[in-house]
Structure 1
Amino acid sequence: MVQVFGGRGKATELEPLGVIDIGSNSVRLVVYEGAVRSALPIFNEKVLCGLGKSIATTGKLGVESVERALEALRRFNAIARILKVKNLRVLATAAVREAEDGQSFIQMAEKAAGVRVEVLSGEKEAQFAAYGIRMGFLAADGLAGDLGGGSLEVIDIYKDRLNDAVTLPLGGLRLIDQTGNKIDRALPLVDEALAQVKWLTHGRGRPFYAVGGTWRALAKLHMEQTNYPLRVMHGYAIPTREAIEFCQFVRRTKKVSALPGMDDVARARRDVVPYGALVLERLLEALAPSEVVFSVFGIREGLLFSLMTPHEQAKDPLLCYCEDYARLRSRSLEHARELCTWTDTLFEGDGPKETEDDRRLRHAACLLSDIGWRAHPDHRGEQSLDVVAHAGFAGIDHPGRIFLALAVYYRHVGTDDGKRSDDLAARLRLVVSKRAQKRARIIGAAVRAAHMLSIGMPGVIDETKLFYEGPKLVLTIPRTYAALDGERLRRRFGLLAELLAREAEIRVAN
């Protein structure tokens, strides 16, 4: 039986899984739908406790910080019960691992959380950070760094293989504590620690994946400074030299709180940002990577990834997400899949050439092409554009994300470039290539033409034949559906053919 007019409240009958991360700066609970490749958080809350802010000088967790952390854990325990989370994992990192009173805190934390607290070694923390990168990126190849309040974990990742890893005492809170909040004193400490890790040169010319709230705050500030049209952290990339110069600018700024965008950074994190900039700057100088890519996936997602089967781990995170979203929001997932196959023909033989990544992005666009069908027709384009541009995708970079948003936008508005120069579509077009814009228009036009036949329902377009014949783009319709031929179909199919530099011809099969 074909399911149409979706609308399930949840994507599955999965069992929710909760992860509490007791970090040196924050304590956070995230509850996921389940241990699957495109798992979505159904709850996410953090409390900035600053457990590691005095470890370097006192060796102990601060009394006030401990109370805040325990209060957060009691609340998270209650939330997990309400959400019926049977599998709740609690991870503790550098601050708890190194504190003299860490063991006594663990006992209180386990009572507050109602479950055992797993204290991660530096090696295990780096491994989970790497798994988080694998969760968030397809075939990751580079070095990843996870900066917390107490430590920095760096690990070399090559696709499904984890290589060298190290934990360094370079967390932002630790550096503030060690230096008496004098950032110039932190510079030699950072350089000395990095100089001990000889394999950092393995990062030369490869991406560097930046993990952690402080580095994400830096990405926010950079977006604000460059007037970037999106505010999506995951997959945001900055060329290495530009990133180094921006980090230098931030750490040398006398009044960091006055920087544009700093109002969006939590107050408890603002003092740490210049130290995070310093660590990133010096690390990039040592690595000489191709670019810095920011990740919202870290040790929590890494734990989730570690619980999956190898089969689940190997799935494409982008296409998994798009299928789940289409199942929830489009009229028919089966029809969305048919669009993937139907548009394949346009890029075969004499059609435009596409790479394997182009193909997966096209399929993703087809899967998402009908998610805005419930909106008012006058607003489907802009609403779909905004939803897709800011969706919680993994396995995609920002140019790919913008391409998807534009393709779904054109599916609703045609080839219209927008009437206002300041709308989101116009701003997005400024940051992607002309080639990507042309492909987005072609795919949008193809889906618009297909819907004139299928009316969004499965079992129609898969009976048609689409092919190139010399200078023509030909669509053959079975006689069963001959009555669907008409002015609107011919107009939309004509626009598609025009974008492909072909003449349109529609035939009714005998």
Structure 2
Amino acid sequence: MSGSSARKVTQSIAVIDIGSNSVRLVVYESLTRSLAPVFNEKTLCGLGREVQTTGLLAADAVQKALASLRRFRALCRVMKVGRVHAIATAACRDATNGPEFIAEAERICGAPIEILSGQREARLSALGVVSGVHRPDGIVGDLGGGSLELVDVRGSRVGSGQTLPLGGLALQDISQKSLKRAERIVKAELSGIAQLAGGRGRTFYAVGGTWRALARIHIIQSGYPLKVMHEYSIPAAEALGFLQRLRRLAASDMLADIETVADARRPLLTYAALVLEYILRIARPKAIVFSTYGVREGLLYEKLPPEQRNQDGLMAAVRVLNQLRSRSPRHADDLIAWSDRLIRVAKVKETADERRLRHAACLLSDIGWRAHPDHRGEQSMDLVINGHFGAISHPDRAFLALSIYYRYAGLNAENEAPQAVRGLVSPHMLERARLLAAIFRVGHLVSAAQPGVLPATQFRSVGRKLQLVLDPRIVDLAADRVGNRFKQLARLLGRSGTIVKR
């Protein structure tokens, strides 16, 4: 084995998550600010389906979970995973035979299993949202099979957590599958919860597989153009109507026809909808945002050194893509500085968030070079808009995708981007995406995407004229094609454009 292969093996890290409904293994390439899952598998075991009434993990569920853990241990061995972290949640901490199960599970896994307290689970869920959402502000709710955790989060500050026995399996068990009884239990449990009192006008971050299943149904029914679940957002008023319709479907047994949801999770949808509906009524947030980042991501985020935790999650992710896919990754930093100078000289108004997205777009601006020239725009747009990274809203995702699409496809009307994607951004951001594309088309053409060229140029504003000034040593890089693209860029800025020698 080579030295680089050995390093890769020891860098990989896995999380085994023993939940009340599912048992899951996720293997990540390494412990980093931008987690890259290389393997993800779950088994819906239903460990917590009888805990509330019998106090026990069901015997058949235990055997199914242990069989899955044996496979997970073998997978980790085959994949040569460097480190394995294992956690268990509500069912294992509440069941009287939980310690016996955990002892056997630890023997199989060959690793200690941390049984999370309710507050610890809430904190890790919140940290997952902190790691995956840019500047979150609201209430995190993590609905598992056995419990619901609620915790307030503002930026990187996480409040104290509250845990309630309102997970789908637990609620089904306590109510003896009576929805009317379940509704009374939910109403009683959620009334007076301090974590919900501060939710008005903010965001509710929904974490957990069953809530994600609800979001998937909403995406399909609404014809939403993106299939990315992370940071899918629904206005609270619209969500209430959707949840009420879903409950009516459940009453008429029509939920059984929903093929997008796993059979084992389908019976829990009604309970998940019920809990979410009452949370919205009590907390009165402005919107629900669904997060695929939760306990597992929070656990690994917590293990990062402070300087990595403080990194922007989006910028960390696009830097990885830049390293993997660009012809010369260092050129992207030249492009960032070059576009900074243009924005300053041309006096383009720009917010801090717009500047962040421009820098991210610079790092993504060369990711499509290996594709066929006729398809670089579409393929790059698809890669960005469906990319596995967080800390970015869906409109901002679409903005980045459009910037890279126009960079490759050009700005002519016949090469217009699909309306479904354009419809996700405001008219202002659509024009800004076209401006960034024009910047990239000049910068990459004049430099051939090689580092060290753009620093030998500068911008000059003379009245309504914008000039691109080249050092004598690179003046031969100027040509009609570069000049035409620069004129196009200048027109988007309301200027005329020329290239001159210093």
- Aligned positions of 1:3-22 closer than 5 A: 15-22=11-18
Counterpart mapping for 1:27-46 below 5 A: 27-46=23-42
Query: Is residue 256–residue 274 contact of structure 1 (8 Å, CA) maintained in 2?
Result: no
Root-mean-square deviation (CA), in Å?
Answer: 1.9
- The aligned amino acid for 2:488 is L
- Of the three residues 95, 118, 121, the one matched with 1:122 is 118
Pairs within 5 Å for 1:294-443: 294-417=290-413, 425-443=418-436
Map of 2:74 onto structure 1: 78
Does 2:459 correspond to 1:466?
yes
Is 1:506 the counterpart of 2:499 in the alignment? yes
Structure 1 residues 82 and 476 mapped into 2: Cα distance closer, same or farther (>3 Å)?
same
State whether residues 418 and 426 of structure 1, in contact with CA within 8 Å, keep that contact through their aligned partners in structure 2: no
CA distance in 2, matches of 1:467, 1:222: 50
Shift of 1:139: 2.4
CA deviations 1:331-384 (Å, max 9, x no partner) are 111101111111112322543211111111011011001111000000000000
Separation in structure 1 between the aligned mates of residue 195 and residue 318 of structure 2, nearest angstrom:
38
- Specify the code of the residue in structure 2 equivalent to 1:74: R
**Aligned residue among 476, 491, 502 for 1:483:** 476
Match of 1:257 in 2: 255
- Work out whether residues 409 and 415 of structure 2, in 8 Å CA contact, stay in contact via their aligned partners in 1: no
Q: 2:75 & 2:335 partners in 1: Cα distance?
A: 41
Q: Is the 8 A contact 2:394 2:424 kept in 1?
A: no
Q: Tell me by how many angstroms 1:178 deviates.
A: 2.1
CA offset at residue 13 of structure 1? 8.2
CA shift, 1:276, in A, is 0.8
Q: Which structure 2 segments of 5+ residues have no match?
A: none
Task: Specify the SS of the correspondent of 1:181.
Answer: coil
| Cα gap change, 1:336 to 1:140, in 2 (>3 Å) | same
CA contact (8 A) 1:407 1:443 kept: yes
1: CA distance, partners of 2:14 / 2:39: 9
Equivalent residue, structure 1, for 2:90: 94
1:93-143 Cα shifts (integer Å, max 9, x gaps)? 001111121111111111221211111110110111111111111222211
> What displacement does 1:180 show?
2.9
Change (3 A) 1:11 1:377: farther
Q: Determine the C-alpha separation between the residues in 2 that align with 1:181 and 1:418.
A: 57
Q: Take 2:135 and 2:392, find their aligned partners in 1: how far apart are those partners?
A: 11
Q: Distance in 1 between matches of 2:410 and 2:42?
A: 42
Query: How much has 1:468 moved relative to structure 2?
Result: 2.8
Residue 466 of structure 1: how far off its partner (Å): 2.0
TM-score (norm 1): 0.94
> Which one-letter code corresponds to 1:390 in the other structure?
N
Partner Cα separation in structure 2 for residue 43 and residue 302 of structure 1? 18
Counterpart of 1:60, as a letter, is: L
- Per-residue deviation, 1:417: 4.9
For residue 404 of structure 1, report the CA deviation from its aligned partner. Answer: 0.4
Larger RCO (alpha carbons 8 Å, 6+ apart): 1
CA distance in 2, matches of 1:414, 1:9: 41
Identity of aligned residues (%): 47
Where in structure 1 do 4 or more consecutive aligned residues deviate above 6 Å?
A: 8-14
* Distance of 1:346 and 1:483 partners within structure 2: 21
Mapped contact 1:406–1:425 kept (Cα < 8 A): no
SS of residue matched to 2:26: strand
Q: Could you say if the C-alpha distance between residues 319 and 11 of structure 1 is closer, same or farther in structure 2, counting changes exceeding 3 Å? A: farther
Following superposition, the deviation at residue 30 of structure 1 comes to: 0.9
1:195 has 2:188 as partner: no
CA separation of 1:172 and 1:10: change in aligned 2, threshold 3 A: farther
Q: Name 1:4's counterpart in structure 2.
A: none
Sort the Cα spacing of 1:270 and 1:468 in 2 relative to 1 into closer, same or farther, 3 A.
farther
Give the Cα separation in 2 of the matches to 1:206 and 1:363: 28
Question: Do the aligned residues in 2 keep the contact of 1:21 with 1:91 (CA within 8 Å)?
Answer: yes
Partner Cα distance (2:384, 2:491) in 1: 26
Q: Distance in 2 between matches of 1:12 and 1:79?
A: 16
Is contact 1:410–1:416 with CA below 8 Å preserved after alignment?
A: no
Deviation at 1:33, TM superposition (A): 2.2
Quick one: structure 1 residues 345 and 198, their matched pair in 2 at CA, closer, same or farther if it must change by over 3 Å? same
Deviation of 1:173 after TM superposition, in Å, equals: 1.0
* CA–CA separation in structure 2 for the residues paired with 1:217 and 1:209: 15
Could you tell me the TM-score, scaled by structure 2's length?
Answer: 0.95
Match of 2:130 among 106, 130, 134: 134
Where 1:205 maps in the other structure, the secondary structure is coil
Number of aligned pairs? Answer: 497
Distance 1:116 1:41 in 2: 22
